[in-house]
């Protein structure tokens, strides 16, 4: 439902990233936010957003993997973007990017440094935290093509 609002390429990336993170962190809860700017799936040990250590964030212009406390992560490969005091991110051109050793290393350290450790057993839950009534478009606007009705003059 939420993911279907995106362009096909972004839908594929979101689903692949979610599948990879569920496989990597099976005991993590998924906290879902469909807010004004972004569609976000946070992964953490509890139902508290502040306990999440990584999230998938998607907008019309692409999909990112956000490390909530990424400013403190060792980024020897220099793949993290962002300049805030806390969060850093990696743009995901596809879900396969999560298989890259540099991203795997960051995920390992982020999970290890989480404020609250993940449960050792069990299965995480999917928790819909909020859905905004008003949202930015989840797809880029289509460019008008020559011959479209919008481009024809009315005589």
Reference 106, options 83, 81, 73, 142; nearest CA is 73
């973007």: which residue's tokens? 81
The single residue listed with the structure tokens 């279907």 is 4
Alpha carbons 43 and 30: distance in angstroms, whole number: 5
Q: What is the mean pLDDT of residues 68-87?
A: 94
Instruction: Read off the pLDDT of each residue in 124-130 and give the average, rounded to a whole number.
Output: 85
pTM for the predicted model, two decimal places: 0.82
Residue ranges covered by each domain of the chain: 3-138
pLDDT in tens, 16-41: 999 999 999 999 999 998 887 889 99
């Amino acid at each position: 439902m939420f993911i279907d609002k995106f362009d096909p390429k972004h839908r594929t990336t979101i689903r692949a990233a979610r599948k990879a993170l569920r496989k990597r962190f099976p005991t993590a809860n998924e906290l879902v936010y469909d807010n004004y700017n972004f569609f976000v799936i946070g992964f953490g040990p509890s139902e508290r957003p502040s306990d999440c250590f990584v999230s998938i964030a998607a907008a019309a212009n692409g999909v990112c993997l956000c490390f909530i406390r990424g400013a403190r992560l060792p980024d020897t490969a220099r793949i993290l973007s962002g300049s805030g005091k806390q969060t850093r991110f990696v743009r995901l051109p596809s879900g396969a990017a999560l298989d890259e050793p540099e991203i795997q290393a960051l995920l390992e350290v982020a999970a290890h440094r989480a404020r609250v450790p993940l449960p050792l057993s069990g299965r995480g839950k999917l928790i819909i935290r909020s859905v905004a009534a008003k949202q930015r478009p989840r797809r880029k606007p289509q460019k008008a093509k020559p011959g479209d009705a919008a481009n024809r003059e009315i005589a």
